[in-house]
Copies of this chain bind each other. A is one copy, B any other.
């Protein structure tokens, strides 16, 4: 559905009159606010807002509206981002041998849950090719070894840049991306980590959880930063486990969490619900 709808995401120092000024500028151009959510962080003295509005009744045009928003934005020193619903975003999914998150994203996309185009699947293994093909998504096999890492990342970057992809989703991609690569996509790479972060950072979190004897396990989706598994957390979920569960059982139970938690993060991104600040996220629901 290509609705005439836009979403405005705003972050700025908290000040009086912010809400009224933004509402006024939208109203002044005939835009009808459909949803509005805001958050003030009293410690950081920051203000965040998400406004979704209907453009079909615009009394001016988009350029005028954008100029109006820009003017308010400058007055209040806002970071702001305006997205039109009819522009279809492109995402790239990076996968390795584990296929459950990849399948999950493709099926949800097909069911209409993810408003985007899945422009490509990139994997360091060839296994996922038939899966991508089944869903009609271009597949690129980009093998990675310690020696070829830089060139592999360059190849991936080229594919992404050429196609206008704006979000990279690591669907249990088992390679650690270089700082240089990560730096190219600030708050634009979403990873799924198979633990309830900050517990069990790094390799084999299910084994770590098993050995610790925890009674719940979790999954965490987060933006990727240069620090491994330390980026801003977007979504988390947990499930009960018991002494009966082997490491394999934790892996199996965890898969269900990983799928939901990754898909929810991607969905939140595509609906412009996420703002990042101070190493954390605001996720408007």
Contacts and interface: CB of A to CB of B under 8 A. Distances in A.
- Does more than half of chain A's interface fall in helix, strand or loop, or is it mixed? mixed
A216 B38 CA distance: 21
B39 A283 contact: no
A60 interface: no
Interface string A266-285: 00000000000011111101
Nearest to A18: B33
Given A24-B20, A107-B100, A196-B199, A213 B279 contact: yes
Interface string A195-216: 0111110000000000011111
Nearest to A238: B238
Interface stretch (A85-93, A144-152, A155-163, A229-237): A229-237
Interface centre among A34, A215, A252, A280 (most CB of B within 10 A): A215
Contacts of A212: 198, 233, 280
Contacts of A39: 35, 243-244
A134 interface: yes
A180 interface: no
Nearest to A48: B243
B27 A282 contact: no
Interface in A232-254: 232-238, 242-244, 246, 252
A243 B280 contact: yes
B34 A23 contact: no
Interface of A: 16-21, 23-24, 26-28, 30, 32-42, 57, 99-100, 103, 107, 111, 113, 130, 134, 196-200, 212-216, 218, 232-238, 242-244, 246, 252, 255-256, 260, 278-283, 285
21 contacts: A20-B27, A23-B23, A36-B36, A36-B38, A39-B243, A41-B243, A99-B107, A100-B107, A196-B196, A196-B199, A196-B238, A198-B212, A199-B199, A213-B232, A213-B278, A213-B280, A215-B236, A216-B218, A216-B238, A242-B285, A243-B280
